[in-house]
Amino acid sequence: MTDQTITSVSRENRVFRPSAEFQRQANLGSFATYKRLYAESVNAPAKFWARQAKELLTWRRPFKEVLKWKLPHAKWFIGGQLNVAENCLDRHLDTARSNKAAIIFEGEPGDIRTITYKQLHREVCQFANVLTGLGVGKGDRVAIYMPMVPEAAVAMLACARLGAIHTVIFGGFSSEAIKDRVNDCQAKVVITADGGWRRGKIIELKVNVDRALAGTPSVEKVVVLRRTGNATAMTEGRDHWWHDLVTLASPMHKARGFDSENPLFILYTSGSTGKPKGVLHTTAGYLLGSMMTTKYVFDLKETDVYFCTADVGWVTGHSYVVYGPLANGATVFMYEGAPNQPGPDRFWDMIDRHGVTIFYTAPTAIRAFMRWGDDYVKKHSLASLRLLGSVGEPINPEAWMWYHTLIGKKRCPIVDTWWQTETGVIMVTPLPGITPTKPGSCTLPFFGVVPKVLDENGKEVPKGSGGRLFLKQPWPSMLRTLWNDDDRFKKQYWSELPGYYFAGDGARFDKDGYLWVVGRIDDVLNVSGHRIGTAEVESALVSHPSVAEAAVVGRPDELKGQALVVFVTVKSGVTATKELREELRAHVAKEIGALARPDDVRFATALPKTRSGKIMRRILKEIAAGGEVRGDTTTLEDFSVVAALQSQEE
Ligand code: PRX
């Protein structure tokens, strides 16, 4: 994407002011308070963050120093010790929250469970003892490949309690993806389930794990939760049922403190080269960031029932299903399955039945709800809702207005939250009741965040012009490095402009200083709010015996944001058939997961390249979008290639 295209985003100018009623009860009080605290957070960050860390977190040993910043490596709250699970559970037990629901769970088949803080604490302690029994200790890596059930949170919190590092692998990823991730971090234990429910079918998680584990020598033990009850093969000596182990484990577990910078989790995300990046987050800074943003961005109250629709396999599920809400002692509503099972009104039905007050979802989901029709929404009252959130990609103003009108009944503020796996927590967002909102803008920075929109020479662009988004100052929940690849960490995020974190997004500030993020500018696509690296899909394609060369680009898609279009040249002697097209789509799904299944496979005799052999993706993008090839083609080696690609458009 060039700066020129970044500029050409919509000029939305509607402004929605918070209601006086919401403002009166807002956690942050007023816009003036936000301004004052924001100024302190960026001008005197050590003072600001020290106060927040002392106020919000429970420490085993106080920290001595707030920040050591040796660019690009940050250490926060040095000398301090704490336990994340204790902050999320134990500290609520001596309060009125002890018997409050921590998790209200609804499975796709309709089964409902309510787990209080006391019960969740007991389950986490028991499971921590199970993991200890399996040889898991501080610093060991544990892979979690589970459905959206409370035990996924139990497993995460049990790892945190032991100072072990979890890596949650989204249940939609394939066995190849599990294998790569497990091998990269050398996980010792895998926690999974016999299956999970999705759209009335069982997702066979354990079968995928078994396939992956044929090539993962580091794994010693597998714990299997019985969720669906389907027949499941167990490998003697390696595999154990969750319920068998837990029955034998004590519910007592004394948590110990870990250093502020002890690794908490690794979460793999797509980058612009083939191999997923293991984003590393640590203990105190991450917990503080997730707790504080949950409190202020969602204006969390003791009486809220908070529903974030993200899977725990994504960072949103880490920060806003598990750590942020539980550290605040909130009631989290957790749902296992598809939003349209048994009907397209499943969410609205659940919101009414459970009295959900805060609802946080993704624009791609909102666009699907719009497509399914207003009648499904109108059947339900949604009277309990008081706040809505959006995350994962830019929200188009039409979707924003629909969300505001149909779901929020014009009464609920919408927080459009911009952030990334790497930032750990929400970075740019309205504060509800405080910040006037504009449909499609994530508005203003959260505390401690200094966003900059810069041009190719590192100069600030004038307001209203597009550029690349950077963050200027370190923040507590920032990624510390990429697992096993500090060089890539430096190169990817810190080399674009010395001293600045490069987000990989294009953005602009409007005249009011509101931020508008328009999307990725690197070779990363955002499909249904999930990041997919084009190189990852390309390397999956060329691993197929029929494929010589592949190039992957995004095409604007009404529902998914971007759709995956792949251009493939086949090896000599191979015929490009319809069957091969389907085979390649299935092949990518097998290699990466269904979310990366190409929407469109196009065969080509050659790909457009520069004279130096670089594939000209810009041209492919234009062809994929069905438009004319407009830009400069003088660097193209052979224009007939483009003509050939255009002539075979369907
Ligand atoms: O391009 C931005 C987009 O999602 C990317 C981060 O993806 P991921 O690490 O998977 O995390 C998603 C959940 C935090 C960003 O670089 N993005 C996320 N939220 C927004 C957004 N783009 C515009 N507006 C948002 N609110």
How many angstroms is it from 564 CA to the middle of ligand 1? Answer: 18
Q: Regarding predicted confidence, which is higher, 312 or 610?
A: 312
Pocket test for ligand 1, best of 419, 435, 438, 441 (most atoms within 8 A of CB): 419
- Write down the pLDDT at residue 535: 86
Task: List, for residues 108-130, the tens digit of each pLDDT value.
Answer: 999 999 999 999 999 999 999 99
How many angstroms is it from 634 CA to the middle of ligand 1? Answer: 34
- Write down the pLDDT at residue 3: 40
Closest protein CA for atom 18 of ligand 1: 392
Taking the C-alpha atoms of residue 124 and residue 313, their distance in angstroms, rounded to an integer, is: 19
CA dist 575 → 49, 541, 572, 587, 604 (Å): 62, 16, 8, 17, 11
Q: Regarding predicted confidence, which is higher, 340 or 3?
A: 340
Q: Report percent pLDDT > 90 for the chain.
A: 86
- Write down the pLDDT at residue 1: 39
Q: What is the DSSP letter of 267?
A: E
As to burial, measured by CB atoms within 10 angstroms (0-12 exposed, 13-18 middle, 19+ buried), residue 186 is middle
Is the pLDDT assigned to residue 647 strictly greater than 80? Answer: no
How many angstroms is it from 91 CA to the middle of ligand 1? Answer: 32
Query: Comparing 3-12, 52-61, 152-161, which segment has the lowest mean pLDDT?
Result: 3-12
How many angstroms is it from 247 CA to the middle of ligand 1? Answer: 41
How many angstroms is it from 647 CA to the middle of ligand 1? Answer: 36
Closest protein CA for atom 8 of ligand 1: 420
How many angstroms is it from 171 CA to the middle of ligand 1? Answer: 20
Residue 86: which residues within 8 A CB-CB, separation 6 or more? 58, 161, 255
Residue 396: which residues within 8 A CB-CB, separation 6 or more? 363, 367, 440
Closest protein CA for atom 14 of ligand 1: 420
Is the pLDDT assigned to residue 5 strictly greater than 50? Answer: no
Is the pLDDT assigned to residue 631 strictly greater than 90? Answer: no
Give the position, in ligand 1's atom list, of the atom nearest the Cα of 524: 1
Which string of DSSP letters, residue by residue, matches 579-637? HHHHHHHHHHHHHTBGGG--SEEEE-SS--BBTTS-B-HHHHHHHHTT----S--TTBS
The arithmetic mean of pLDDT across residues 555-577, rounded, is 93
Sign of CA dihedral 237, 181, 146, 341: negative
The arithmetic mean of pLDDT across residues 458-470, rounded, is 95
Pocket test for ligand 1, best of 526, 532, 595 (most atoms within 8 A of CB): 526
- How many helices (H) does the chain have, and how many strands (E)? 22, 30
Which residues sit opposite 143 in a β-bridge? 167, 190
Is the pLDDT assigned to residue 7 strictly greater than 60? Answer: no
239-241 β-sheet, strand order: 239-241, 221-225, 189-193, 141-145, 165-168, 263-269, 277-282, 481-482
Pocket test for ligand 1, best of 1, 269, 318, 420 (most atoms within 8 A of CB): 420
Taking the C-alpha atoms of residue 447 and residue 451, their distance in angstroms, rounded to an integer, is: 11
Length of the chain, in residues: 650
Is the pLDDT assigned to residue 105 strictly greater than 60? Answer: yes
Q: Which residues line ligand 1 (CB under 6 A)?
A: 269, 315-316, 391-394, 416-421, 442, 503-505, 517, 519-520, 526, 530-531
Going by C-alpha positions, the residue among 514, 509, 518 that lies closest to residue 462 is 509
State which H helix or E strand residue 145 sits in.
strand 141-145
Dihedral (Cα; 72, 77, 80, 83), 10-degree rounding: -80
- Write down the pLDDT at residue 10: 55
Q: What is the DSSP letter of 82?
A: E
Is the pLDDT assigned to residue 304 strictly greater than 60? Answer: yes
Note whether 80 and 62 are within 8 A (CB).
yes
- Write down the pLDDT at residue 645: 79
Residue 612: which residues within 8 A CB-CB, separation 6 or more? none
Residue pointed to by tokens 């629909």? 402
The arithmetic mean of pLDDT across residues 29-47, rounded, is 97
Give the position, in ligand 1's atom list, of the atom nearest the Cα of 310: 13
Sign of CA dihedral 332, 334, 340, 346: negative
How many angstroms is it from 505 CA to the middle of ligand 1? Answer: 9
Q: Give the type of residue at 356.
A: V
Is the pLDDT assigned to residue 9 strictly greater than 50? Answer: no
Taking the C-alpha atoms of residue 194 and residue 232, their distance in angstroms, rounded to an integer, is: 6
Sign of CA dihedral 232, 236, 242, 245: positive
Structure tokens at 129: 């003892």
Q: Give the type of residue at 207.
A: V
State which H helix or E strand residue 10 sits in.
none
Q: What is the pTM of this model?
A: 0.93
How many angstroms is it from 393 CA to the middle of ligand 1? Answer: 5
CA dist 435 → 19, 41, 361 (Å): 10, 18, 20
Give the position, in ligand 1's atom list, of the atom nearest the Cα of 395: 24
Going by C-alpha positions, the residue among 585, 581, 539, 548 that lies closest to residue 563 is 585
Is the pLDDT assigned to residue 144 strictly greater than 60? Answer: yes
Mean pLDDT, rounded, of the chain: 94
Map out the domains of the chain with their CATH numbers. Answer: 84-256 (3.40.50.12780), 544-647 (3.30.300.30)
- Write down the pLDDT at residue 401: 96
Closest protein CA for atom 24 of ligand 1: 394
Going by C-alpha positions, the residue among 151, 16, 5, 103 that lies closest to residue 622 is 5
Structure tokens at 393: 């990609």
Which string of DSSP letters, residue by residue, matches 363-413? HHHHHHHHHH-HHHHHTS--TT--EEEEESSPPPHHHHHHIIIIITTTTS-
Give the position, in ligand 1's atom list, of the atom nearest the Cα of 530: 10
Closest protein CA for atom 3 of ligand 1: 393
- Write down the pLDDT at residue 650: 46
Closest protein CA for atom 11 of ligand 1: 420
E strand spans, 510-577: 515-520, 524-527, 530-533, 547-557, 561-570
How many angstroms is it from 344 CA to the middle of ligand 1? Answer: 25
Task: List, for residues 263-295, the tens digit of each pLDDT value.
Answer: 999 999 987 777 899 999 999 999 999 999 999
- Write down the pLDDT at residue 522: 85
Give the position, in ligand 1's atom list, of the atom nearest the Cα of 442: 26
Give the position, in ligand 1's atom list, of the atom nearest the Cα of 504: 16
Distance of CA 430 to the CA centre of its chain: 19
- Write down the pLDDT at residue 587: 96
Please count the other Cβ atoms lying within 10 Å of the Cβ belonging to residue 543: 13
